[in-house]
Amino acid sequence: MERSIIIAPSVLSADFSDIRGALSQIEHSGTSWVHLDVMDGMFVPNITFGAKFIKDIRPCTSLFFDAHLMVEEPSRFIEEFAKAGCDCITVHTEACKDIKATLDLIRSFGIKCGLTVKPDTPVTDLKDYLDDLDLVLIMSVNPGFGGQGLIPETLDKVRWLHDVRGSRRYLISIDGGVNLKTISAVAESGVDVAVAGSAYFNAPDKTLFVRKMSSGQGENS
Ligand code: DX5
Ligand code: ZN
């Protein structure tokens, strides 16, 4: 059967002065997800946008809102982000005081919940939560900025998550440095979802880009 990886373009690399145009471009390029990188300048050394931005763009599109919260103690903001229209909220193990309570809070709003780890955090830190997760995100760069190179060792974490999944429902996602050159190794490791920021927005033909990326063959397709 042909491989089909969900491609989640990250608006981090979009021109925020034309966010409507970027969302419409994503919809028309043949994918149904958009990745929303929320950064607070504390957990990561960069600031992007908050729940108001997400609430304002919600009526512009029916794309699946895959929110990645790079914020300290995200439980403070879960209600606001859920009500803004996120379909899935992913939080960092390193940022939560109480990981289980934060995941329960996300689920209490009837949306999907995800958990992620930075490149230096062992994947086994996710072990106790796997039964209840809809998404597990492996950071393949140190979070904060788009356009960095993928750290190859992080693919071992994807392989581990793939091997231990069994009948659990979680999707495995990867974020950082995913492009036409790296996608084949990423696909072989067993991901279901690939976030692409700079590679997507730099691609001259976005429909072709999504097609090549979701086949998992990239440049070889
Ligand atoms: C990094 C963000 C990523 C970023 C990926 O902190 O979480 O989602 O946008 O960008 P690229 O694809 O350019 O590495
Ligand atoms: Zn992200």
The secondary structure of 38-98 as a DSSP string is EEBSSSSS-B---HHHHHHHGGG--SEEEEEEE-SSGGGTHHHHHHHT-SEEEEEGGG-SS
What phi and psi values does residue 215 have, to the nearest 5 degrees? -75, -15
Alpha helices in the chain (DSSP H): 19-28, 51-57, 78-84, 99-107, 155-164, 183-189, 198-202, 206-214
Ligand in closest contact with the CA of 194: 1
* pTM: predicted TM-score of the whole model, two decimal places: 0.98
At 3, the pLDDT band (50, 70, 90 cuts) reads: confident
**Is the CB of 7 inside a 6 Å radius of any atom of ligand 1?**
no
Alpha-carbon span 68 to 38, nearest angstrom:
6
Closest ligand 1 atom number to CA of residue 10: 9
In the 8-state DSSP scheme, what is residue 10? B
pLDDT at 148: 98
CA of 36 relative to ligand 1 center, distance in Å: 10
Closest ligand 1 atom number to CA of residue 197: 12
pLDDT at 221: 74
Residue-wise pLDDT for 163-191, tens only, equals: 999 999 999 999 999 999 999 999 999 99
37 is catalytic: yes
User: Which of 37, 40, 66, 134 is the catalytic position?
Assistant: 37
175 is catalytic: yes
